[in-house]
Each structure stands twice: as structure tokens, then as C-alpha cells.
Structure 1
């Protein structure tokens, strides 16, 4: 798609697609710096590796050290008089209670994991395949020992700085896309960042990002980034130094009033540890369109049902004779609800299924609205430049639609 002229009417329509902060938060955006409580929730369990914020509510229950499960039944061995040495700041999974034991019932295992590494597709802790049952467990989740300073360095997010524009470097709108690998901790880690001028379509940044934490893998199947790419970028001096280095480069072109366009931009901003709320997200826009369409369809369906009921009431469709004739086809349960034998709700008591929103993947929307095939490289992964431009063109289509209706 050709460059776009930033006319006043177009800019107003583009700005009208910016989501309010409340909507962004519902879609997982971080709109303010993380509190101490938020940062502590980023700690991961020493056993299963899941984050405490995902696993738990904050309590201070006792803990038992990880214990090898019985391979025969995948359970902890029997303990006649369990002892749980206490440790500070423990967190327990939602609805889990402190472990208790009776002669008839052993305490429940809350945390299951393989304590060894997966090497050559074998867990070295139990010498079994990757799909083998988890061989160890503990009665409670235990957060890794990380100080607040370390958590801030790893996870704190920073808003776009209010620095005055230098020359003409600050853009009115940009398209953003990032690629992420997986850190040794299990957290997503930024490994490539792409920034495109929304109006001129000029590529501002398209750089490999050297991770500032140890990596588990680069997720090449989706990120498209290989270790050879990392090595070549470092040799050529084109790689950016971690998330802070990427933010610094971006902020030379993005100010507090710059519109950031993308698809699922919350993931990109999170990977950059960046807070920016002037966002036009093609995923959120399409999600809202789908939900609005579903609401309209439901409203029409209810209106039709109401008209049908009114028509039946006027014509006296169900007479006394008809009711007697059809009495064998009707079942009146104890609750007094009238149902038919073929009605699934008569036996399951489940609410009717609600149709889920359609496929909102960038690849699907690009094909549907732009007639463009993207992400076609299979296991070679995505191209963040291709994805950024596709998201930009989807948003442009929405703006043109808005301008046409004015």
C-alpha cells in the first residue's frame, strides 16, 4: 500500500480509533508503572516455574520441601506425621488451603514438576520422555528468591518520556511489531523490534535485540529469529542492547502524542517494558466489531422471538384441545419449567452455548480484508516487518471506512 497523506480529516478518524485506558486494561495493557505487589507477583515458583500472580493469592502458609513422587501412582509417599518447615512470603494457588493430614487422608500436592532438565528429549530426573508424568512435587508453591531491585530491573515498565521533539524525528503515527523468544526463567524476552512510519511507510527500525538475560530458546518457529541472526547482528554492530536499548531507539521517533499502531500491541509493549496508551490496535478494533455484530444479531433474534410470541397469543395457537392432544409430547419437571423430551437443556440444565468471536489472527484478517497472504514461511517463523505493515494497512482500511461515512 502506498504512503498516506496525513490530512486533518484522516488524522481525526485515526485518532478516533484510539482505545480508552479502561478498554486497554481489559485487553491486558499495562497503563501505569508496576507496584511492589505487581513486581512480587512476577516471581516464579521454584518448582513448576509459573508466576505467583497467576498461581496464587498472597498468604503465609507453611511449606514442605519438594519430594519425589511414587512412580507407581504418581503420588507422594505416605507420611504418618508430616512436618512443614515455614518459609516467609509463601503464596498458594487460588482456593488451596494450608496442607493438612489425617490418618485417612494425605495432604494434597499443589505443585508438580520435573526437577531435572530435558536433555536429548529425556528428563534426566526420571529418565523418561517429555510427555512423562511429573515426577516430583511439593505441598505449596515457593517463589524464587529475588530482591525487589532485581524484579524492577527485569519487569518494571516505563512510560514514554516527555522530552521535547528534536528536529523532525518525532512521528505522528508509527506501526510497531516485536518478536519474542523465551528466557531461561520462562518469561517472554524481546529479540527483534520493527518500527515503521505509519504515513510514509519508511522503516525506522528493524533490528535484532540482544537479550539482557540468559535465554532458553529463540522460539524461531514463530519469531523467525535464529542464533545465526543474533551472531551476525552483533558482528555487524546492528543489534540493540536489551529492552532499554530498544526503548531508547524508539523514543527518538515516538513521543507521548504519537499514535502507535499494531496488532495485539499489548504483547509488543510488554516485551519492551513500555507504557504507551495512545494505541490503535487492529485486534481490539476487530474484536469490538465482532462483539457489536453479535449483540445486534442477538437483539434481532430476541425481537423476532417476541413478535412470534405476540402472534401466537393473538391467534390462540394453543387451544385446550391442542394442549390435550400434545400433552404426551411435553414434560413438566418438578421446577415447573416446560420442556420437550428432545430439548438438551431438559437433561443437562446447561445454558445455551454462545458463539465465540471469529478468528482474529493477523494472518486471517490480512487475508479477509486485504486479500494478502502473510506468515507463509512455516517453521521459518514470522517477519515482524511484514506483520507491522499488515497491521498498519488493516488500520488504514478502517480509517478509510470511517472517512467514507462522514
Structure 2
């Protein structure tokens, strides 16, 4: 009975609960929701109803729990799988998005600029090669030139044709021709002088062209063979001393011993007041140089030519080569001042060539030009060429004292040429010593004057004035001009008042020695047996 009564009460309670829930359900107006909740079944067992009553029955704005309690809605959470910590860490690492690096604005700017610059470069460089058309050089008017342009242009065209045959590069041929013509025009005041110099240059270039093509094998002798052949013509120490070459003084660095120096360079007489009484090396008159170096201008009348012997009316007479005037007669040239050759530092300030284990056996030809200063004769130009007649060094040199006479007739140097020249004697010595060593052979004509002015001591000397001695012996020497005419069939030093070309003289000495080697050697003793002293040229 009791059991039946309990079951009835439970049923009655269950029915009452269902009725209450049904009434709430019917009275409730549902709203539209995104995620509707699960619908509570209309019928269920007691256990099921109790369990579900404790869970969420319906959720929108309100939540119903057991015991008829109403609470506000809690936010919904996504489903979280039940995984261990290790798996969670791996998943977190895998899900981290990769960091993408984007180029900065500066990079875009640089790339844009580089692309633009590349485009610009391509515009200039990516062009099909078009060979340049070289036009023949044209003579431009030169201020101060006294040679007609038509004559200069004709000579330039002739030089261009010759250089094209010599040079493999046409552009280099044009440059060489222009340079050669410019050298011809410089210093020429007469058309005849210009044409004479052009004829000399043209004949020289034609010979060089034949030499390069192999027409003359002796002119292009191998350096080693040329060097060994020249050894037979190296002057002995006695010959150097007798011809007033500067020789070293033991235990006195920088000093030089010059035999007969007073004969070649007469020293002035020092007065009581300190003035110097000098003898003009041109006219032989005495003149005074004050203690402070001032020289009073005094007209000098002299002969610039040599004394030569000539047959006149069946008799041999001595005359001057410049004007055919008799010896002792009045001079034919006038200068505004007297000059002298003595230099107070004649025996000091010298440098000597050194030996070197790595230095090759080389051959150079040397020629110097001098001018007259308040302190005597000094160096103003030095030129050196190699065995192939190519210029190695050529430079004007600024004398240490005030220039009185540029000696243009022989040096070829004018006052305008020396403007802006800052090369000193020491500079020239340093450059020469970088080429010339103790075993180097130096070729030249009357080199004692050149070495004294350059203040250089060297013993390996081949002097063409000694190799080709004068037939009359002492005290004569053959001039370089006559040697070139007789043996090379070449006219040199034909520029008149415009002076000599030191390069031309140096090249002539090299060619004379090549001629000598080709046309038969003399023994060294016979070649210098008749060495003579020659009166210095002023």
C-alpha cells in the first residue's frame, strides 16, 4: 500500500511539473536566434527530467535551471578538444603565421633609381658600333707664326702620308704628323728656314720607315749586339782626361777633376772691391761684373763661326765659316752684352752614376744645350734618346742664375720658351740617373761640355768626335754637321738663327755609330790616336 501511495504521489508531482513547464513554454514568445537551443522533449522519465532540468533547457535572453531559478545568459564558448600539453604546443607552433618581410620604401627608391640609371646607360651603351671617320688634320692659325698656312698645310699632308706608312694606327699617325709640324713651325721666322727643316725631317722619316720595314738591318741591330760592338769605341780614362771630361776625385764626393779647365773655362780676375774682371769668350774683350752680379751692357761684336782653312787663288788661307772673313777682321754679329764661360761651381755639385746588379746593358745618346748667365755658362736643355733613336727624356732646365744670353743661334731656345719652366738641374740629374748606370754606354759628340753642364761623372763614353778624328789632328775636331754630311749624307743644324735641335744631334750620333759598325771597325787605339782639343764653341 505504501509503495502504491508513494508511486501515485510521484506521478502526481511529475504531472504537476510537466504542467508548469508546459505553461511557461506556451506563454513564452521565442525570438530569432543564431544558435537555437535543444528542444526539451515533451515526455521523459523522472530521472531524465531531473537531469535535463539542471542543464540549459532553452537559451536566448533567459536560462532556466532546476528549482525554477532564472539567471541571465552566459556567453557561449567554442568547443575545446581535450588534448595534452605537448600536442597543444606543437599545434600552436604550426598555426603561427609566417612573417613576411616587405621591402622598405628606400629599397623601392633605390631599385627604381638603379633601373632608371640602367635604362639610361643602356640608352648610351647598347648602340651598335659605328666606326669613327677620321678626317685629315687641318692647320689652324697660330698666333705669331710667319709661315703661310698653305705651305704649312702642304707639309703637314706630306708628313701624314709618311707617318701612315710608318705607324699601324691612323689616329697615332695623325697625332705624330701634327706634333712634327708644330715643332717645325716653332721658332721659324722665314719660309726658307721652315722648308729646309721640313726637308731634313722628311728625309729622316723616310729612312726610319725603310728601317722599320726591314730595308736596313744594321739600323735595327739588337741592343745586346749593339752594346757589345760599341765596347771597342769606349774612350780610355787617359783620353777622357786629355779631353777635359769630368773625372771623380778620390775621397771627395760631389767634386770633379777637369784637366785643362782653365784653358776651356778661363777664370775671372777678382778685383780688390770684389768685382770680377772677365774675358768675353766671343770677342776676347775684358768686361766687369760687379760684386752683386750686375753687368754693364756693352756691345759685343764677334764671329760666331769656326776658323776653317780654304783654298783661295791657289793658296790655303784661314777664314771664318760664318762670313768668310779673314781671321782677325771685324766681327759679323752683334750682341748687346759680353758673355763668359767660367762657372764658380765648375768643380763641385757633381753626381756620379752608380752600379746595379739588375741594370741592363743599355745605350743612350745625350745632347745638352747651354745658355749664358751672370754666373757663366749653364744647362738649359737636356735630351736623351735610346739606341732606336726614340726620345727617352727631353726637358728644358731653369738655370740657377739670371740669364744674360739665351745663345739661341746654337741652343734654339728663346726667352718665351723658358716661361713657366721650373725644372732645376737637380731634377734633371735625378731623371738621368734613373736611366744611366755605371755600365750604360753614353754616345755623343764632344760630350765633355755636356757632362760638365749637366755635372755628371760617367766613364762609359763613346764620343763621335774621337771615333771620327780630324785628319789634321790637334787642335782640330770635326763638327757633327760635317760628319752627318759626309757619312750619313744628311743635312743637320740648318735652321740658321733658330738654333740646333738637341734631339736631332743625339739621333745623329747614334746613326753615326751604326754607320761605323756597318762600314768597318777601327781598333780603339787607332780611333782615338789623333784625339785633339777644340776651341770651345760660343
What range is the shorter-chain TM-score in?
0.5 to 0.7
Give a deviation string over 1:305-343, Cα, whole Å, max 9, x none: xxxxxxxxxxxxxxxxxxxxxxxxxxxxxxxxxxxxxxx
Equivalent position SS for 2:389: coil
Equivalent position SS for 2:437: coil
Match of 1:252 in 2: 434
Match of 1:230 in 2: 418
Q: Distance in 1 between matches of 2:498 and 2:349?
A: 32
Match of 2:467 in 1: 285
Alpha-carbon offset, residue 162 of structure 1: 2.9
Q: Distance in 2 between matches of 1:40 and 1:402?
A: 33
After superposition, the Cα gap between the structure-2 partners of 1:51 and 1:372, relative to the gap in structure 1 and judged at 3 Å, is same
Give the alignment of 1:256-275 within 5 angstroms: 256-275=438-457
Match of 1:194 in 2: 383
Q: Distance in 2 between matches of 1:41 and 1:261?
A: 21
Return 5+ residue gaps in structure 2 as ranges: 1-207, 212-218, 276-284, 301-333, 524-538
Q: TM-score, normalised by structure 2?
A: 0.41
Q: Distance in 2 between matches of 1:50 and 1:402?
A: 40
Equivalent position SS for 2:364: strand
Match of 1:364 in 2: 482
Q: Distance in 1 between matches of 2:381 and 2:274?
A: 37
Among 391, 396, 401, the residue aligned to 2:514: 396
Q: Distance in 2 between matches of 1:37 and 1:165?
A: 27
Match of 1:329 in 2: none
Give the alignment of 1:7-406 within 5 angstroms: 9-33=225-249, 50-51=266-267, 113-114=287-288, 117-119=295-297, 121=299, 151=345, 155-163=348-356, 165=358, 172-185=362-375, 187-198=376-387, 200-231=388-419, 234=421, 241-287=423-469, 290=471, 360-402=478-520
Equivalent position SS for 1:161: coil
Give a deviation string over 1:334-363, Cα, whole Å, max 9, x none: xxxxxxxxxxxxxxxxxxxxxx67660111
After superposition, the Cα gap between the structure-2 partners of 1:13 and 1:208, relative to the gap in structure 1 and judged at 3 Å, is same
Match of 1:330 in 2: none
Alpha-carbon offset, residue 224 of structure 1: 0.4
After superposition, the Cα gap between the structure-2 partners of 1:364 and 1:66, relative to the gap in structure 1 and judged at 3 Å, is same
8 Å CA contact 1:171, 1:197 repeated in 2: no
Alpha-carbon offset, residue 165 of structure 1: 4.5
Equivalent position SS for 1:402: coil
Q: Distance in 1 between matches of 2:259 and 2:233?
A: 32
8 Å CA contact 1:33, 1:156 repeated in 2: no
Alpha-carbon offset, residue 281 of structure 1: 0.3
Considering Cα pairs closer than 8 Å and 6+ residues apart, tell me whether 1 or 2 has the greater RCO.
Answer: 1
Return 5+ residue gaps in structure 1 as ranges: 57-62, 68-110, 123-129, 135-142, 295-355
After superposition, the Cα gap between the structure-2 partners of 1:37 and 1:372, relative to the gap in structure 1 and judged at 3 Å, is closer
Q: Distance in 2 between matches of 1:40 and 1:197?
A: 28
Equivalent position SS for 2:397: strand
256-265 vs 394-403, which moves further: 394-403
8 Å CA contact 1:177, 1:193 repeated in 2: yes
Q: Distance in 1 between matches of 2:479 and 2:258?
A: 32
Q: TM-score, normalised by structure 1?
A: 0.53
Alpha-carbon offset, residue 290 of structure 1: 3.2
Larger-Rg structure: 2
Q: Distance in 1 between matches of 2:261 and 2:514?
A: 40
Equivalent position SS for 1:367: helix
Q: Distance in 2 between matches of 1:399 and 1:43?
A: 33
Give a deviation string over 1:354-399, Cα, whole Å, max 9, x none: xx67660111111111111101111111100001011111111112
Q: State the aligned residue count.
A: 256
After superposition, the Cα gap between the structure-2 partners of 1:361 and 1:260, relative to the gap in structure 1 and judged at 3 Å, is same
Instruction: Tell me the C-alpha RMSD between the 2 structures.
Output: 4.4
Equivalent position SS for 1:210: coil
Q: Distance in 2 between matches of 1:180 and 1:33?
A: 25
Q: Distance in 2 between matches of 1:254 and 1:43?
A: 25
Q: Distance in 1 between matches of 2:266 and 2:234?
A: 33
